[in-house]
Amino acid sequence: MKLKVLALSFALAAGMFAANAQETYKGNDVFVGIGGGIISVYNGGFNTPSVYGNIMVGKWITPSFGARAVIGGPFQTLDPKNGNAYDVNKTNPRGYKNQLFGELNLDAILNLSNVFADDLAKFDVYVFAGPTVNFSKENTKFKNGQDAVAVIVQESNAFKARFGATAGLGLGYNITDAFALALEGRVGVTPSIFGDASQYRKAEATGRVTLNAIYTIGGKHGKYARAAAAAAAAGYLSKEAAEALAKEYAAKHPVIQEKVVEKEVVKEVVKEVSKEIPSSTAVFFSKGKATLTEADKARLNLFAEGIKGVDSDFVINGYADKKTGSVKTNQTLSEKRAQAVYDYLVSQGVPASKLSKNAEGGVGPIFFNNDALSRTVIIKTK
Between residues 105 and 372, the one the model is more confident about: 105
Using the 3D structure, point to which of 216, 238, 266 is the last residue of a domain: 216
Q: Is residue 366 part of a domain?
A: yes
Using pLDDT thresholds of 50, 70 and 90, give the confidence band for residue 221.
very low
Q: What pLDDT, on the 0 to 100 scale, is given for residue 245?
A: 58
- 15 in the same domain as 137: yes
Q: Identify whether 250 is part of a domain.
A: yes
CATH number at residue 296: 3.30.1330.60
Listed range (4-8, 33-37, 324-328) with the worst mean pLDDT: 4-8
Q: Which of 355, 350, 351, 372 is nearest to 363 (CA)?
A: 372
136 and 159, same domain (yes or no): yes
Position 253 pLDDT exceeds 50: no
In a domain, 293, yes or no: yes
Give the rounded percent of residues in the chain with a pLDDT score beyond 90.
38
Note whether 65 and 29 are within 8 A (CB).
Answer: no
**Are 299 and 196 part of one and the same domain?**
no
Instruction: Fill in the amino acid letter for 263.
Output: K
User: In this structure, is residue 183 part of a structural domain?
Assistant: yes
Q: Which structural domain range is residue 207 located in?
A: 2-216
The one-letter code for the residue type at 35 is G
Is 237's pLDDT higher than 70? no
Does pTM top 0.85 for this prediction? no
> For the domain that residue 76 is a member of, what is the CATH number?
2.40.160.20
Average pLDDT, the chain: 79
Strand partners, 142: 153
Q: What is the pLDDT of residue 78?
A: 94
More confidently predicted of 77 and 94: 77
Residue 264 lies in a domain: no
pLDDT band at 110 (very low <50, low <70, confident <90, very high): very high
361 has pLDDT over 70 = yes
Q: Are residues 197 and 249 in the same domain?
A: no
Do 44 and 82 lie in one domain? The reply is yes
Task: Flag whether 166 is in a domain.
Answer: yes
Q: Are residues 71 and 165 in the same domain?
A: yes
Give yes or no for a contact between 201 and 28, defined as CB atoms under 8 angstroms apart.
no
> Where would I find the beta strands (DSSP E) of the chain?
30-42, 50-60, 65-78, 96-100, 102-111, 123-146, 151-174, 179-190, 204-216, 280-284, 314-321, 355-363, 376-381
Residues 39-56 have a mean pLDDT of 94
- Residue 287, CA distances (Å) to 108, 284, 300, 321 in order: 27, 10, 20, 8
Would you say residue 268 lies in a domain? no
Cβ neighbors of 4 (< 8 A, separation 6 or more) are none
Q: Residues 179-197: pLDDT tens digits?
A: 999 999 999 999 999 998 8
pLDDT value at position 86?
A: 80
CA distance 53 to 39: 9
User: By three-state DSSP, how is residue 261 classified?
Assistant: coil
177 and 56 housed in the same domain: yes
Q: How far apart, in whole angstroms, are the C-alpha atoms of residue 380 and residue 339? A: 15
Tell me, rounded to whole angstroms, the distance of Cα 45 from its chain centroid: 35
Do 187 and 48 share a domain, yes or no? yes
CA-based torsion, 203, 209, 211, 215: positive or negative: positive
Task: Tell me which of 216, 236, 266 is where a domain ends.
Answer: 216
Is the domain of 103 the same as that of 211? yes
| Residue positions counted in the chain | 382
Same domain flag for 318 and 246: yes
The domain total for the chain is 2
Give the integer Cα–Cα distance in Å for 42 and 49: 10
- 269 occurs within a structural domain: no
Mind spelling out the 3-state secondary structure of 291-353?
CCCHHHHHHHHHHHHHHCCCCCCEEEEEEEECCCCCHHHHHHHHHHHHHHHHHHHHHCCCCHH
pLDDT computed for residue 344 by the predictor = 93
Q: How confident is the model at residue 143 (pLDDT cuts 50, 70, 90)?
A: confident
Q: Are residues 93 and 231 in the same domain?
A: no
- Same domain for 299 and 181: no
Does the pLDDT of residue 41 top 80, yes or no?
yes
Single out the residue in 185, 216, 247 at which a domain terminates: 216
Helix (H/G/I), strand (E/B), else coil: 152: strand
